[in-house]
Amino acid sequence: MAHSAFPMNAWYAAGWDLDVKRDLLPRTICGISIVLYRRFDRSIAALEDACWHRLLPLSMGRLSGDEVVCGYHGLVFNSDGRCVRMPSEDRISPNACVRAFPVVERHRLVWIWPGDSALADPALIPDMHWADDAEWAGEGSYFDLKCDYRLVLDNLMDLTHETFVHTTSIGDDAVAGTPLQANHEGRTVDLSRWMIDVEAPPFLATQLCQAHDLAEPGKVDRWQLIHFEAPATIVIDVGVAPTGSGAREGDRSKGISGRVLNTVTPQTADTCYYFFQYARCYGLDDRALSTEMKEANIRIFTEDKIILEAQQRAAVRHPDRPFVNLKIDVGSVRARRAIEQMIAAERAEDHPGGA
Amino acid sequence: MAHSAFPMNAWYAAGWDLDVKRDLLPRTICGISIVLYRRFDRSIAALEDACWHRLLPLSMGRLSGDEVVCGYHGLVFNSDGRCVRMPSEDRISPNACVRAFPVVERHRLVWIWPGDSALADPALIPDMHWADDAEWAGEGSYFDLKCDYRLVLDNLMDLTHETFVHTTSIGDDAVAGTPLQANHEGRTVDLSRWMIDVEAPPFLATQLCQAHDLAEPGKVDRWQLIHFEAPATIVIDVGVAPTGSGAREGDRSKGISGRVLNTVTPQTADTCYYFFQYARCYGLDDRALSTEMKEANIRIFTEDKIILEAQQRAAVRHPDRPFVNLKIDVGSVRARRAIEQMIAAERAEDHPGGA
Amino acid sequence: MAHSAFPMNAWYAAGWDLDVKRDLLPRTICGISIVLYRRFDRSIAALEDACWHRLLPLSMGRLSGDEVVCGYHGLVFNSDGRCVRMPSEDRISPNACVRAFPVVERHRLVWIWPGDSALADPALIPDMHWADDAEWAGEGSYFDLKCDYRLVLDNLMDLTHETFVHTTSIGDDAVAGTPLQANHEGRTVDLSRWMIDVEAPPFLATQLCQAHDLAEPGKVDRWQLIHFEAPATIVIDVGVAPTGSGAREGDRSKGISGRVLNTVTPQTADTCYYFFQYARCYGLDDRALSTEMKEANIRIFTEDKIILEAQQRAAVRHPDRPFVNLKIDVGSVRARRAIEQMIAAERAEDHPGGA
């Protein structure tokens, strides 16, 4: 079951909760065609999106109660994937099933486990609680990207790119100029960067002034605390506080902070879904601000999209040229290593004894 | 010469008679680029569509009398494929030929034999006489389909799909609910389905009322008699008559019937031309009715096109998943077997002694 | 380093001089992604268009003085390809380089040597001096073609195609009807065709009347003297003079002539750039005439483009069908042989002793 580019035994986001309706939604996850829909009770079902009979995507059929009717010959599958009706047939073969996938709705995301269902422990779902915590606000978005999902992770694990890719919004020389602390343990990698006594970048400066009613931001202490959890989730704690107000020591009361929530889902080896949200802990009732920040987020990540898809094409064009790793890549090197370990472990399970 | 997906020694439709004019028409048939045109005497020539010299499609050149002038260096080929003029050359190599293909115009279709010309017996042309019989009326159409031609045959050999794909026109529960009788012999397969005392589907109900001046159709006996002839022709005798008026016993005088004429031509292993016509034996002079029925036909077959092309993509995406056959697939199983036998026979001829 | 379709150790045109500005211009030459730009002193730099670090095309970054800043992580490369700045890194690896390519600006074209830089002798640049000679006038253009660059050479080495492809402009029966004299020596091939006492084709007839103030051209002697220099440059001396005015014997004073300058650069095995210009030695100050002739040139070569790209597709579709060579192909046969010898010589250098 192991794939060389991604672990199969993991939870991957298939969509934001609002994306899955009383309707057939096709997705490709880890190379598998999957159709999602809500049952009457609002719970979500996920079936392989290929009829057992002649492979037509079930998502081209229609929902009938909690069952899916194939759009070609009318075979009906219940939400466990079992065929419960075959027009014109006397009996239904017990083999007439499509795969059903474990699904859990959590943190406003819909998580699917494409690998061995027996191992699908909901306790392994990455922590993205800021997306549905009453103390936090924000709106999620997603992109379809034509690149290896790991390029997105590389991008987020090295924020010095902000200086060059996001020059006009969140980037400035402070990021690239400040060293990074890295820690890793098991499936997680933590990176921290503190920029002391710097100019706030425009995006955060505006937020700081609005939240604390300041005329101008003045010099600030700025932080970027990146938490990666293999295979594909990254939460970034970002913020600024007036210099000397004690943020690094733990008092953020004069400052402003947010969480950049990111999770990436491989579609195939060279395409992925990228789900993201900026969550803030102030102005919670300001829906206009949520929309404004969502739009800013989309604008900024569109700058990344252009780079990432160009990088993917370049990698395909230069198969003999591996990426070089610099000090700034410490985070992505460790993240990729954690992914590799998951893949190797799956392979060992598939072939015990090293066969 | 044998191809794994289609026999070469067979007549395939290259176009409706009206499609071939005093003009160069390119077609791809069984993987071969072919150019067709009418000679002055209205007979049709078919040549390989690649100049002997530098491969430019001859269809990019021009007709000169009954000869084709290549659009690059002016080589002239007669309608037997022999080069009869080479500007600037002293003599013409006897090898300077392109293949000419046997062509026969019959039943308003233009038939080509892409295989061994010596075997091209016009007696083997499938019977589609309803297309030019004075007792029948109708207008032909065709589609370019991005799918294996056999998917079209599967579709026609199992009309239970009408219930699910053509819900609003010719489909209803009666089709999927009624069993099928199957017979096969040599290259042909016959399937019959009689639905007794049922509602007529909208399309046929309308025709029945118009033809017999009825206020409403009432309950009917409905038939679908499918005749397949390998490799790729299917004629379906469809009709309805008021229940109890004796149609099943042979008296169709109170009813209405038509022939759905279908023939499919492989372009490549995963693309094909699909030629079809609805022929009727009433209202022969009503040209508006011909047009109306042709348009209905196109509308209905467009529903199939969407399914068939999606099914093709699904098969490519799931190379490890063969189609499963149900009872409803008895017709297509037998049809595919007849095709396989033709291909195997060709292969045996190519490699006598099993070499 | 040798490629089977083109020599690497050769000068290839990367653009007309006007195409390269204070800006990052991406080109693909002999399969290599290259970025070109002018330094402050107007000289041209050419670097591999893939950052050493993560392969992003440098052409997606920006110029900073004479250096290129990568658009992803801000690595800075000087115009020799050496990395001179890495934000966030303590030291710069001496390996941090991208390839720099020899570039020479000559005859209004920018020439690049994609192979071994040590062999890049500017004396080997093909003679295209008519493009910047004060006695000649004209304006250059170029096409992106989806075909093997050698198809363009074949086309130019056999002008009998003018009769059939350019029927309405420069083609007439005289070209295809007159034999060709061929000579070859080392990397060059010369072809000459003299058409005595013929009608001038419309394009040249107009020029002749304008240049010598004639009411009508009368019968002319017409010449086409083709000079090929491997791997990919062809200069054609074309002209007409009133019959009997001594042109063939060397006195062109009553006639009119031009040079069709052509050089082709492989992008990949099946795509290329085609640079061309019509240079004339009369009406030098008539800029409207330059524009008119450039437009005529583009119109005529668009007719070739259609043929060449169709021929490429046909060759891909018929891998088992090599081109056939006729007497008219003597020039292209010799040209291809000269190219093959360059490729074979490179291969011998790569594998001395035949290993």
Q: Do C88 and A324 touch (CB under 8 A)?
A: no
Strands laid side by side in the A140-145 sheet:
A140-145, A271-280, A256-268, A233-242, A220-229, A188-198, A181-185
Q: What is the pLDDT of residue B88?
A: 80
> Which positions in chain C have a beta carbon within 8 angstroms of at least one beta carbon in chain B?
154, 158, 160-161, 163-165, 176-180, 306-307, 310-311, 314-315, 317-318, 321, 323-324, 326-328
Instruction: Identify whether residues B175 and B291 lie together within a single domain.
Output: yes
Based on the domain organization, do C208 and C87 belong to the same domain? no
B137 and B254 both lie in a single domain: yes
Contact C74 A154 (CB under 8 A): no
Q: Rounded distance, CA A213 to CA B127, Å? A: 87
* Dist CA B216 CA B202 (whole Å): 11
List pLDDT tens digits, range B164-201.
888 777 667 777 777 788 899 999 999 999 999 999 98
A310 with C57: Cβ contact below 8 A: yes
Q: Count of A–C CB contacts within 8 Å?
A: 72
ipTM of the complex model = 0.91
Question: Do A109 and A174 share a structural domain?
Answer: no
Q: Mark yes or no for CB contact B328/A90 under 8 Å.
A: no
The answer, yes or no, to whether residue A1 has pLDDT greater than 60, is no
Of B57, B71, B88, the CB nearest to C160: B88
Task: Give the structural domain span for A37.
Answer: 12-123
Same-domain check for residues A168 and A45: no
Taking CB atoms and an 8 Å cutoff, what residues of chain A touch B181?
none
State whether C111 and C154 are in the same domain. no
Are A114 and A162 in a shared domain? no
Question: In chain C, which residues have their Cβ closer than 8 Å to the Cβ of A164?
Answer: 61, 69-74
CATH label of the domain that carries residue A42: 2.102.10.10
User: What is the average pLDDT across A53-73?
Assistant: 97
Regarding whether C181 and C158 lie in a shared domain, the answer is yes
Q: Could you tell me the CATH number of the domain that includes residue B148?
A: 3.90.380.10
Whether A2 maps to a domain, the answer reads no
- Between CA A307 and CA A171 the distance in angstroms is 15
Q: Which chains touch B (3 or more CB pairs under 8 A)?
A: A, C
Strands annotated E in chain A: 12-16, 25-29, 32-38, 44-48, 62-64, 67-69, 76-77, 83-85, 103-106, 109-112, 140-145, 181-185, 188-198, 220-229, 233-242, 256-268, 271-280
Q: Which of B88, B123, B158 is the last residue of a domain?
A: B123
Let me know if residue B1 belongs to a domain. no
Q: Which pTM value belongs to this model?
A: 0.92
For chain A, the average pLDDT equals 93
| DSSP track, C240-282 | EEETTSSTTTT--TTSEEEEEEEEEEEEETTEEEEEEEEEESS
- CA–CA distances in Å: residue C256 to residues B67, C212, C218, C239: 38, 9, 14, 5
pLDDT at residue C174 in the model: 74
Q: Is A321 part of any domain?
A: yes
User: Residue C173: inside a domain, yes or no?
Assistant: yes
Locate A202 and state its tokens: 């425009």
Look at residues B62, B94, B123 and tell me which one is the last residue of a structural domain.
Answer: B123
Query: What domain count does chain B have?
Result: 2
Question: Nearest CA to CA, how far is A99 from chain B (Å)?
Answer: 13
User: Is the pLDDT reported for residue A351 higher than 80?
Assistant: no
C53, closest residue in chain A (CA to CA): A324
- Work out the minimum CA distance from B128 to partner chain A, whole angstroms: 28
Is residue B274 one of the residues assigned to a domain? yes
Q: How many CB pairs under 8 A join A and B?
A: 72
Query: How far away is chain B from the Cα of C235, in angstroms, using its nearest Cα?
Result: 21
pLDDT band at A177 (very low <50, low <70, confident <90, very high): confident
Write the residue in A161, A318, A327 that is nearest to C72 by C-beta. A161
- The percentage of chain A sitting over the pLDDT mark of 90, rounded to a whole number, equals 77
E strand or H helix that includes residue C306: helix C287-317
The residue count of chain B comes to: 355
C29 to chain B, minimum CA–CA distance in Å?
26
Chain C residues within 8 A of B57 when measuring between CB atoms: 310, 314
Whether B81 and B24 share a structural domain: yes
Query: DSSP letters along C127-153, please?
Result: --GGGT-TT-B--EEEEEESS-HHHHH
Cross-chain CB nearest to B327 (options A57, A61, A89): A89
Do the Cβ atoms of C163 and B69 come within 8 Å? Answer: no
Residue A97 lies in a domain: yes
Residue A352 in any domain: the answer is no
**Whether A328 and C89 lie within 8 Å, measured CB to CB:** yes
Q: For position A355, what pLDDT does the model report? A: 44
Of B74, B92, B123, the position where a domain reaches its end is B123
Q: Does any domain span residue B4?
A: no
Those residues of chain B that have pLDDT short of 50 are 355
CB contact under 8 Å between A324 and C86, yes or no, is no
* Per-residue pLDDT tens over the stretch A338-347: 999 999 999 9
Residues of A with CB under 8 A from a CB of C: 154, 158, 160-161, 163-165, 176-180, 306-307, 310-311, 314-315, 317-318, 321, 323-324, 326-328
Residue A315 is nearest to which of C55, C60, C89, comparing CB atoms? C55
State whether C154 and C55 are in the same domain. Answer: no
pLDDT in tens, chain C (355 residues): 557 899 999 999 999 999 999 999 999 999 999 999 999 999 999 999 999 999 999 999 999 999 999 999 999 999 999 999 998 888 899 999 999 999 999 999 999 999 999 999 999 999 999 999 999 999 999 999 999 999 999 999 998 888 888 877 666 777 777 778 889 999 999 999 999 999 998 878 888 998 898 999 899 999 999 999 999 999 999 999 999 999 999 999 999 999 999 999 999 999 999 999 999 988 888 889 889 889 989 999 999 999 999 999 999 999 999 899 998 899 999 999 999 999 999 998 887 765 4
Same domain (yes/no): A252, A176:
yes
Q: Are residues A214 and A251 both part of a single domain?
A: yes
C-alpha–C-alpha distance, residues A165 and C73, integer Å: 8
The nearest alpha carbon in chain C to A318 belongs to: C55
Facing residue for A74 by CB, picked from B176, B306, B323: B176
Q: Which of C148, C164, C312, C318 to mutate to test the interface with B (most CBs of B within 10 A)?
A: C164
> Residue B53 and residue C317: Cβ atoms within 8 Å?
no
Q: Do A88 and B327 touch (CB under 8 A)?
A: yes
Which has more confidence, B169 or A349?
Answer: A349
